[in-house]
């Protein structure tokens, strides 16, 4: 595994809020940048939040190297984008995938969804997973920096409110990623748990796109064992917290489509179960486009 650069700061401890990514996208599309003197006024937030918007836009792949990315344009462009106002939870699943498979940086989010391998965990467990994934020849982040990053990422998915015996827990959707219901605080404990299994709001097309990207990053392979798809770092099963049935069901849905049946399949022979995906980047984006245009995969 290529060691990613440790990045446990930059969000200023703010989870991204509703409208932030869209606002950051349009800000950059208007040929503005976050270090501009008028950035605070143009974005309508304080300086720390300006930095946070930049961080989340970069980490979710909406732009890179100071320019809007192909992914960012496809999803957020107001004229031709799939979901310019992020109204479909499928868009949040895509952003979750991009955020936690970022090819350049190691974050607490990546530790959570790729290196932890525990259905129930504490913040200390996340810290251990993060530290073990870093280059041992480089200086590790301080405990305070690491814990702030962990807290920010867990809050992004689980919120900041805790269960209380005497009161009904109120929903507090501070970050859109909470709508994915991936992480839940455990009652009367400092522990959290992942929601593992099928996800009602996660379309097969998003899983299919993730399978394509995972294989493309692995020397453009066209197949992998199902155990790899479920449990390896940065795999769809790990990042989406899927079980075997959910993953196979998504593949079968794609395989029964008249348009995509030749691109996806699941085979099992001599005890070896394989997922096959034979497509290029253009086709992978077309798959996403079909979903957002309302084209049914079984049409």
pLDDT of residue 271: 86
- Looking at the fold, whether 226 and 262 belong to one and the same domain comes out as yes
pLDDT of residue 4: 80
State pLDDT tens for residues 85-115.
Answer: 999 999 999 999 999 999 889 999 999 999 9
- Looking at the fold, whether 158 and 73 belong to one and the same domain comes out as no
- Looking at the fold, whether 248 and 282 belong to one and the same domain comes out as yes
What does each C-alpha distance from 260 to 65, 234, 255 come to in angstroms? 33, 24, 6
pLDDT of residue 165: 44
pLDDT of residue 298: 59
Compute the distance between CA of residue 283 and CA of residue 75 in angstroms, rounded to an integer.
16
pLDDT of residue 136: 86
pLDDT of residue 166: 43
Rounded mean pLDDT, 193-217: 97
pLDDT of residue 297: 65
CB 156 within 8 A of CB 126: no
Nearest to 202 by CA among 109, 96, 275: 96
CB 110 within 8 A of CB 4: yes
State pLDDT tens for residues 61-74.
Answer: 999 888 999 999 99
pLDDT at position 299 over 60: no
Last residue within a domain, chosen from 194, 222, 241: 194
Which residues on adjacent β-strands are paired with residue 264? 277
199 found inside a domain: no
Alpha helices in 133-190 (DSSP H): 143-158
- Looking at the fold, whether 231 and 257 belong to one and the same domain comes out as yes
- Looking at the fold, whether 88 and 117 belong to one and the same domain comes out as no
298 found inside a domain: no
- Looking at the fold, whether 91 and 52 belong to one and the same domain comes out as yes
The predicted model scores a pTM of: 0.93
- What is the total count of domains within the chain? 3
297 found inside a domain: no
Compute the distance between CA of residue 220 and CA of residue 113 in angstroms, rounded to an integer.
23
pLDDT of residue 164: 46
What's 267's domain CATH number?
1.10.10.10
- Looking at the fold, whether 65 and 126 belong to one and the same domain comes out as no
Q: How confident is the model at residue 19 (pLDDT cuts 50, 70, 90)?
A: very high
Nearest to 194 by CA among 233, 231, 154: 154
Rounded mean pLDDT, 11-23: 96
* More confident site: 296 or 168: 296
245 found inside a domain: yes
Rounded mean pLDDT, 42-55: 97
What does each C-alpha distance from 230 to 126, 128, 236, 272 come to in angstroms? 19, 22, 7, 14
80 found inside a domain: yes
- Looking at the fold, whether 142 and 178 belong to one and the same domain comes out as yes
183 found inside a domain: yes
Could you give the maximum distance between any two Cα atoms of the chain, in Å? Answer: 64
299 found inside a domain: no
Structure tokens at 84: 């310019």
- Looking at the fold, whether 10 and 42 belong to one and the same domain comes out as yes
Q: Which phi and psi (to 5°) does residue 119 adopt? A: -70, -30
What does each C-alpha distance from 293 to 151, 181, 202, 219 come to in angstroms? 36, 25, 16, 31
pLDDT at position 162 over 60: no
Q: Which phi and psi (to 5°) does residue 209 adopt? A: -65, -40
- Looking at the fold, whether 183 and 219 belong to one and the same domain comes out as no
Q: How confident is the model at residue 13 (pLDDT cuts 50, 70, 90)?
A: very high
Last residue within a domain, chosen from 47, 70, 102: 102
Last residue within a domain, chosen from 102, 126, 146: 102
Domain range for 56 is 5-102
User: Rounded to 10 degrees, what is the CA torsion of 254, 260, 263, 268?
Assistant: 40
State pLDDT tens for residues 191-201.
Answer: 999 999 999 99
- Looking at the fold, whether 72 and 24 belong to one and the same domain comes out as yes
SS3 category, 119: coil
CA atoms within 13 A on the CB side of 265: 8
CB 102 within 8 A of CB 171: no
Residue positions counted in the chain:
299
Handedness of CA 262, 266, 269, 273 (dihedral sign): positive
Nearest to 240 by CA among 105, 94, 128, 116: 94
pLDDT at position 161 over 70: no
State pLDDT tens for residues 243-296.
Answer: 999 999 999 999 999 999 999 999 998 889 999 999 999 999 999 999 999 865
Q: How confident is the model at residue 138 (pLDDT cuts 50, 70, 90)?
A: confident
- Looking at the fold, whether 119 and 95 belong to one and the same domain comes out as no
Which residues on adjacent β-strands are paired with residue 194? 183
Compute the distance between CA of residue 186 and CA of residue 170 in angstroms, rounded to an integer.
15
């Amino acid at each position: 595994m290529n060691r990613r650069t440790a990045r446990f700061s930059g969000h200023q401890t703010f989870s991204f809020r509703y409208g932030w990514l869209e606002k950051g996208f349009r800000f950059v599309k208007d040929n503005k940048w976050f270090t501009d003197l008028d950035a605070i006024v143009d974005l309508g937030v304080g300086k720390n939040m300006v930095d946070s918007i930049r961080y989340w836009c970069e980490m979710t792949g909406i732009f890179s190297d100071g320019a809007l990315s192909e992914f960012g344009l496809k999803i957020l462009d107001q004229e031709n984008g799939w979901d310019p106002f992020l109204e479909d939870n499928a868009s949040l699943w895509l952003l979750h995938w991009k955020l936690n498979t970022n090819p350049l940086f190691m974050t607490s989010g990546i530790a959570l969804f790729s290196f932890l391998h525990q259905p129930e965990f504490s913040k200390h467990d996340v810290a251990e997973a993060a530290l073990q994934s870093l280059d041992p020849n480089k200086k590790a982040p301080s405990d305070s920096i690491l814990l702030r990053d962990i807290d920010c990422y867990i809050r992004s998915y689980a919120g900041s409110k805790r269960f209380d015996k005497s009161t009904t827990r109120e929903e507090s959707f501070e970050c859109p990623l909470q709508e994915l219901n991936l992480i839940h605080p455990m009652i009367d404990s400092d522990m959290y748990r992942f929601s593992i299994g099928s996800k009602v709001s996660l379309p097969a097309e998003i899983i299919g796109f993730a399978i394509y990207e995972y294989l493309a990053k692995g020397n453009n392979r066209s197949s992998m064992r199902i155990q790899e798809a479920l449990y390896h770092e940065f795999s769809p099963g790990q990042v989406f917290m899927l079980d075997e049935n959910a993953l196979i069901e998504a593949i079968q849905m794609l395989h029964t489509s008249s348009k995509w049946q030749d691109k996806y399949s699941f085979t099992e022979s001599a005890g070896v179960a394989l997922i096959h995906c034979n497509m290029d980047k253009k086709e992978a984006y077309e798959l996403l486009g079909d979903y957002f245009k309302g084209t049914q995969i079984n049409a």
